Amino acid sequence: MCSVCGCGEGEVRIGSDSSHALPHEHVHPHDHGPEHAHAPPVRAPGPMPSDAERHHYGTGPARAHAPGMAQARMVQIEQDILSKNDAYAAANRRWLAERGILALNLVSGPGAGKTTLLARTLRELSEAYPMAVIEGDQETSNDAERIRAAGARALQINTGKGCHLDAHMIGHALESLDPDPGAVLFIENVGNLVCPAAFDLGEAYRVVILSVTEGEDKPVKYPDIFRRADLLLVHKIDLLPHLTFDLERCLEFTRQVNPGLQALCVSSTSGEGLEDWYRWLKLTREARLVGHPALGTPSAARDAG
Amino acid sequence: MHEMALCEGLLQVLEEQASEQAYRRVRAVWLEVGALAGVDVRALRFAFDVVCRGTLAEGAALHIDQRPAPAWCMQCARQITVNTLLDPCPDCGGGQVQVLGGDQMRITELEVD
């Protein structure tokens, strides 16, 4: 396995949702989304389109190959490296939208308190609307068990050596977990402030969690993940009196990379700020349901809960 | 960190295109990588060689075209380019810079036979 990143396929395990009695099989008609291979047709060998910035214009096949050898040719495909992942993400997004499910991708470094925050949220909102959790970790199903202990349905994905969740894993997890229509689905990504930034899972919003026991300059040290987030939760603020963490400075750093990022300061120990988080969840869920054919009215949204 | 997974995605595209575009071998791959794509080019090259071993792209040359990110400087009221999210405007030095892109990771061309 690669010593640079350790990512690899073949070691991903999608755990069972223990509330489901049925074993998960891969025979159900899960649509993996639009097959997207609509690359432009092969161009005949010859001059490439004019693009003044291309610095490899002169490396065409005619000069690279001796006569008599198989004639190489150039193929222009213009395809994103992550197009496969993005197609799965689009399929997930559609699947979730049809069911009126609000999916949130929770990202943070290890130890920021995602699971603790989630467990308290699930306990305190258990009466409000259905919720489900997909847990991503390299190993163990400890987090899924903590979530189940809080009374919610949870499915564990173990990524093995992988450093992030991808949309394909989430597609399979959705089949097994099958969250209720109108639910809020929390996807707790692998604790990592780098890699999860690049992988769209099909979520509606990305929530980044930063605890005050980390450096206040995390937003500028790991700008990608903060730049692509929709909400920042500054966590463990009950510890602020004991730390040198400068909250204002942290928020200023955040604004440098993502000027519009909304920030909420919360503590799942003292409960401070949680009302705001719950209100954000409630309003965001309701906003997503507006216009939904079955759940689009306030009473239907309530009934789903 | 995730360059290995990116290369696996890249290889998937190459394998899918093989039947569609009727080729058996990939000799060279051209990528366009934006400055804000979060990609470490050295790790990407390393991962590419490892991932392509034993595949139709074994030994293929990897050409990476790194592009700066387009951005808008509010003060100069014109388009500029930056290389990180926190770069000031190269002309006026101001920080009122809105990044407009630069996170692309695209395969642009292949040399195949």
- The answer, yes or no, to whether residue B83 has pLDDT greater than 80, is yes
pLDDT at A35: 43
CB–CB of A265/A231 below 8 Å?
A: no
Closest CA–CA distance from residue B110 to any residue of chain A (Å)? 5
Window 41-70 of B, Cβ < 8 Å to A: 43, 46-47, 50, 63, 65, 67
How many Å apart are CA A61 and CA A59, to the nearest integer? 7
Task: Please indicate whether, in this complex, the C-beta atoms of B38 and A198 are within 8 angstroms of each other.
Answer: yes
- Cβ-proximal residues to A37 (8 Å cutoff; 6+ apart), any chain: B16, B17, B20
Long-range interactions of A14-19: CB distance < 8 A, separation 24+? A14/A155, A14/A156, A14/A157, A14/A158, A14/A169, A14/A172, A14/A173, A14/A176, A15/A141, A15/A144, A15/A155, A15/A156, A15/A157, A15/A158, A16/A155, A16/A176, A17/A153, A17/A154, A17/A155, A17/A176, A17/A177, A18/A148, A19/A148, A19/A153
Q: Of A5, A75, A256, which is closest to B109 when you measure between CB atoms?
A: A75
How many Å apart are CA A142 and CA A119, to the nearest integer? 12
Q: Minimal Cα distance from B84: which residue of A?
A: A223
Closest CA–CA distance from residue B111 to any residue of chain A (Å)? 5
Q: Which amino acid is at B16?
A: E
Mean pLDDT of chain B: 93
- CA angle (A205, A207, A215) in 5-degree steps: 155
pLDDT at A302: 63
Give percent above pLDDT 70 in chain B: 99
pLDDT at B73: 96
pLDDT at A71: 61
- pLDDT tens over chain A, length 305 residues: 333 344 444 456 676 554 443 343 344 444 444 444 444 444 444 444 443 333 232 333 333 333 444 567 888 888 888 888 999 999 999 999 999 999 999 999 999 999 999 999 999 999 999 999 999 999 999 999 999 999 999 999 999 888 899 999 999 999 999 999 999 999 999 999 998 998 999 999 999 999 999 999 999 999 999 999 999 999 999 999 999 999 999 999 999 999 999 999 999 999 999 999 999 999 999 999 999 988 887 666 666 55
- The answer, yes or no, to whether residue B45 has pLDDT greater than 90, is yes
Closest CA–CA distance from residue B92 to any residue of chain A (Å)? 17
pLDDT at A303: 62
Predicted complex ipTM: 0.78
How many Å apart are CA B71 and CA B89, to the nearest integer? 9
* Cβ-count burial A137-171 (b if 16+ within 10 Å, e if not): bbeebebbebbbebebbbbbbbbbbbbbbbbbbbb
Q: For residue A165, which of A156, A152, A175 has the smallest C-alpha distance?
A: A156
B105 token code pair: 């990771």
Counted across chains A and B, CB pairs separated by less than 8 A come out at: 141
Rg of chain B, C-alpha, whole Å: 17
Cβ neighbourhood burial of A251 (10 Å; 0-12, 13-18, 19+): middle
Q: Minimal Cα distance from B1: which residue of A?
A: A5
Strands (E), chain B: 26-34, 61-67, 69-73, 78-82, 97-99, 105-112
pLDDT at B35: 93
Closest CA–CA distance from residue A35 to any residue of chain B (Å)? 11
Q: For residue A115, which of A101, A98, A133 has the smallest C-alpha distance?
A: A133
Provide, as residue numbers in chain A, all residues whose Cβ is less than 8 Å from the Cβ of B30.
Answer: 56
Task: Please indicate whether, in this complex, the C-beta atoms of B13 and A77 are within 8 angstroms of each other.
Answer: yes
pLDDT at A32: 45
- The answer, yes or no, to whether residue B17 has pLDDT greater than 80, is yes
pLDDT at A172: 96
pLDDT at B105: 92
Provide, as residue numbers in chain A, all residues whose Cβ is less than 8 Å from the Cβ of B5.
Answer: 5, 7, 162-164, 166, 195, 199
